[in-house]
Amino acid sequence: MISQLANTAIRIPCSNCNCKTIKSMKWIKTHDAVACKCEPNISLNTEQLKSEIARDESSFAALNLQV
Ligand SMILES: [Zn+2]
């Protein structure tokens, strides 16, 4: 079963400039870092990002329950 969540867009917050880079869950799981305009190598393996993803996962699950 292919999870629809793989195509869900996640907002990755930059800790320097606070801008958000949008990447899919699938992309995030196959990369260790993302580039921002201020920082070419933002680590994706942070507690902050993990909590962001967990929140998106739970809101996605909640949406599914309502359908
Ligand atoms: Zn930045």
What tens digit of pLDDT does each residue of 45-65 get? 878 777 877 887 788 777 777
Distances from the Cα of 22 to the Cα of 1, 6, 64, 65, 67, angstroms: 25, 13, 22, 25, 25
Q: Does residue 32 surpass a pLDDT of 60?
A: yes
Phi, psi of 2 (to 5 degrees): -90, 125
pTM of the model: 0.61
d(CA 10, CA 29): 11
- Across all residues in the chain, what is the average pLDDT? 82
40 alpha carbon to ligand 1 midpoint, in Å?
A: 8
More confident residue, 19 or 46: 19
Domain definitions of the chain by residue range: 4-66
Distance (angstroms) between ligand 1 centre and the Cα of 18 equals 6
Average pLDDT over residues 19-25: 88
